Structure 1
Amino acid sequence: MTRRPLLAAIAVAATLATCATPASAATDAAHRLATWGPSMTIGGPNFANQTIRMVVHSSIAGTSPRITLSNLRGTTPLAVGAVDVAVQSGVATAVAGSHHTVTFSRSRTLTIAAGAEAVSDPIPMSVGAGQNLLVSVFLPKATSSATWHSDAFDTTFLSLPGDHSRDDGDGNYIAARTSWFYLSDVDLVPSVARSTVVAFGDSITDGYNTPTGAYQRWPDDLARRLAAAGTPRGVVDAGLGGNRVLTDVPNIWQGISALKRFGHDALGQAGVSTVILLEGINDLHAGVNTAGGPLTAADLIGGYQQLIAQAHRAGVRIIGGTIMPDNEPTDREAMRQAVNDWVRTGGAFDGVVDFDRAMADPANPHSLNPAYDSGDHLHPNATGMQAMANAVDLSLIR
């Protein structure tokens, strides 16, 4: 399954040639896998006459990568003046001679309509598993609030004015951020991997409190486990800090509900065969259901059932993760236990990862194991992230 190529919804630069999609391109798309793909929200900063250089950490090896630029949450058209992909040497420095100009329907420039995304032409290069690419996007005109992923736990570089997309060195990149802007997906033709698994969740899956640029989120660790076991899979981290299953979050950069974004962020990924779902802790914290009333265990279970139905209609397996402990008050703890019991025994999911039992303090199962605690009693440290990845039975992933 390939993420929807919304080029039909894009207002492309006037010089763009219109052409039919060759049969070979359609065949190529059918065999692609997503290797990277953060969930995007509204609320990012504005840019003007500036190049953004972002790091992509590929989960699998392959060839002919394509990138997706997203104006999905934007309110005005997005003018793109140039896009380049190169191999990262270090920080914002590219390996000399590794640059590739990226085109969209054979054009180097494009304008993406508000609410749309653009999928590039295949880029003639090879990508290694665990390799870092630099994707540089030149925005020649003033933008409105960016479509972005706020908490990247990776470094993005902002340039001096002008097009610096093909710079080898980092001298013109004068500022750093820890967010991704407009770049929402990379897929490729895999060398060995057969499918993609999407880790779908909130800040725990997003990697909150993990070191910047270390790739120690549990989905990163899972990708390495799969490769070491001789069963590599594309692994997409669709975690979003603060996200809830049932309701939108007032802080707009934390996104619309899982029920609303699941089709795009999980099921829309190229080659997805399995989704691992770990969400619900923020619903417990918010304590509200879709009608604005008090949350019950049945409400949250009903949300899971809707996500399961969406996945099964798309022919995708969905694995349920139990909600991890975080020193909940008595009423919320009782609800968490009820929901987790249903995940374990209800038989609705295609499999279960018992994150709760894997991460709990043996001396106090209502709290996170201190050895796995990043310090806030909710988000795991690097050791805890590895323990989460280790809790996944690899045979559940197709």
Structure 2
Amino acid sequence: MAEEMKTELTEMESLNVGDVLKGKVVKVETNQALVDVGYKYEAILPISELSALHVAQMSDELSVGDELEVKVIRIREDEDKVIVSKKAVDAERAWAELKQKFESGETLTATVADVVKGGLVVNVGVRGFIPASMVERQFVEDFSDYKGRELTLKVVELDPEKNKLILSRKAVLEEEAQKKKKEVLESLEAGQILEGTVQRLTDFGAFVDIGGVDGLVHVSELAWHRVEHPKDVLNEGDVVKVKVLKVDPENERISLSIKETQEGPWEQVARKIKAGDVVTGTVKRLVSFGAFVEVHPGVEGLVHVSQIARHHVETPADELTEGQEVQVKVLEMKPEQKRISLSIKEVEKPEARKEKEENTSSEYTTGGLNVTLGDMYPELRNLK
């Protein structure tokens, strides 16, 4: 035992710059601390050698009795002084660990020590800097509330010789988002009804977040009626129900529909209109065999040429014009086939019908020709 103590004492009789020693804090002053390292006099630990970051006063970081490792950086035997550094020991250990994490892609956690121009500062044994562009996935205007927050980070650049360490939280968030995106893509199936949040509006549609991944609702799938621009029916931030139409995991594309989650126009019209009803509609299209009349937004029924009037109609354009408002009677409803048969002549009032009959009562049909009494008896024309 005596031999061991003697050996230890002999080793401590000689110190060299670069030696790493274990010691105990015996005194804390404003700008320095005295550390017992087993040498003939206490080592001096200046405040500048305590931490990689600025320290206002020693008592903020050290207390009497604290044990720590220090590295000898200067020896002044003529002044009975040994200058040691704690941050040098921390830095050597930190650079080794940081290099390993950089190569393996591992993450580390650190508390934000300060908010500076251009980003955040952390202490991970050495001073680490997180550029503003690497804090979040989205733009952040004010970082004041980040001080004191613990963040999970990745090493993106390190240079021990220049004492340079760049860290990123965004890289961690991107990896997490990609992992979640993959999980969501694998869980999605065509036909699912989900709730999502509108993220972006474009000329061709809306991108909706459905749990960490965005799907596209094409402008044609926004509503059953025609939509000129998505902003006419949606706002960013709106919570909407969507139906999954198609999933392409390989290309990370999801096709969604909002209108498929809503009752369609044919379902609506089936509830509101039945055979025998008389409704008001608008002539949308004229064709050789009749006219298509819109009786509900997005629903058109056919008025066959034979149902336009009680008299013979050569072409629908002789009686109707596009955009004209007309009353029609529903003859037959087949919403499952998206077909409605309509009639205009069946709506004609009895009075109007009687007037037409009276106007033609003096006409006779002979040999297939319409002949008037004046034609048959010319002499009657001169009678007064």
Q: Which structure exhibits the higher relative contact order, with contacts defined as CA atoms closer than 8 Å and separated by 6 or more residues?
A: 1
Same fold, TM exceeding 0.5? no
State TM-score, norm by structure 2: 0.20
Give the strand-richer structure, 1 or 2.
2
Structure (1 or 2) with the larger CA radius of gyration: 2
Higher helix proportion, which one?
Answer: 2
